[in-house]
Amino acid sequence: MYTGVISDLVKRMYQHKSKFHKGFAAKYNCEKLIYFETFDSIEEAIKREKQIKKYKRINKINLIEKDNPEWKDLSDGWLFYFG
């Protein structure tokens, strides 16, 4: 599971799906958006990211399944065009 902070979720999902960056997400085929949260400030987002990264895997699974029990790709149907 990949956890990160980004200011443009649509653009970042495009990058993950197209394997634009050759890092962790590309190596492990992280191309489904199964959970996300929004924040008013980058500081809040980073604080939450650090909190989630410390979670055990079962806690991450519980967080996801609370809102997305079928693990559907929440970015399905998004228009990924950047020309």
Q: Please indicate whether residue 69 or residue 30 has the higher confidence score (pLDDT).
A: 69
Give the pLDDT of residue 67.
Answer: 95
Give me the sign of the Cα torsion angle 63, 72, 24, 9.
negative
Assess whether pLDDT exceeds 60 at residue 69. yes
* Residue 60 token pair: 């991450």
pLDDT band at 81 (very low <50, low <70, confident <90, very high): low
Q: pLDDT (tens digit, 9 = 90+) per residue, 9-44?
A: 888 888 877 777 777 777 777 788 999 999 999 999
Give the pLDDT of residue 62.
Answer: 97
Amino acid at 50: K
**pTM of the full structure:** 0.77
